[in-house]
Structure 1
């Protein structure tokens, strides 16, 4: 896995100089707006989806933008609780019509110290990147990569902007998904090795579910 060789020992990503997110993002999502989820989602998700839902209306504290190339974008909106975020995939314009919307919540965030630990947690010694992944008795299918065996993680850069700072994070990520049994909703499992601007490296694991524009209100 060539990406492992580049994760440690190279210069950290440079800080972003300007805010990458548009003032008004897709679906009206933007930093400073309040987001409230439909309370009925807890009952809908109860037996089908692991994702924990925040109880209260929350402020969108920071935003992240990933330029995927070929006029495709990931727009991320992080809530005040530091655990929950909304990801909107758009094509054409960054704030254009959504291709998909996913509500994510972090399950874990582990600091990685050294190449050996990186290989064990997210490299060839791990299960991340294999065609399927077992999580809490459920089987998730790999979304990225076509190899029969383990595939390399996908690299992209995220420009993050908050009221206090703007910076870039380098991600090496892998996405899995499964059918939930709920109409038009899928559950997602996202692994990401993240390299911060100061060079610190961590592995985040997030659980997500398809979100519709009717599932939330903005104020």
Structure 2
């Protein structure tokens, strides 16, 4: 059995439970992020990676496939928490565009 089933998950999140971001999150992100904060979402799946030394990376995938919540666990304590949301997706047209987006001179990469 995976450790996530043996230990208490952060915030009581399990597959099938509901994740509801705090209403104050949207205004806090205003001007800093284009993330559209979702309403209540059902956790569709949970992923876990054991990073060693009692550190685990948990991902809670939402029914709305545009979002997931990532929690870095230090033992039973939640550390960094990140809410990911796709703002947009665009197919890449060849190697030149890939290098433009993620190469050495790219803003992300």
Q: State the Cα distance separating 1:81 from its structure 2 match.
A: 1.3
Q: Which has the higher contact order (CA 8 A, sep 6+)?
A: 1
Greater strand content: 1
Q: Which runs of 4+ in 1 moved over 4 A?
A: 110-117
Q: Which runs of 5+ in 2 are unaligned?
A: none
Secondary structure of the structure 2 residue equivalent to 1:121: helix
Greater helix content: 2
Q: State the Cα distance separating 1:128 from its structure 2 match.
A: 2.5
Q: Matched residue pairs, number?
A: 107
Deviations for 1:24-70, whole angstroms, at most 9, x for unmatched residues? Answer: 52221111101122223334433454321113x21001222233344
Q: What RMSD in Å do the two structures reach over aligned CA positions?
A: 2.9
Is 1:22–2:8 an aligned residue pair? no
For the 8 Å contact 2:4–2:48, the answer to whether it is kept is no
Q: Which runs of 5+ in 1 are unaligned?
A: 1-18, 130-219
In the alignment, the residues of structure 2 paired with residue 67 and residue 115 of structure 1 have an alpha-carbon distance, to the nearest angstrom, of 34
Residue of structure 2 in register with 1:101 after alignment: 81
Change (3 A) 1:29 1:90: same
Q: TM-score, normalised by structure 1?
A: 0.40
Q: TM-score, normalised by structure 2?
A: 0.71
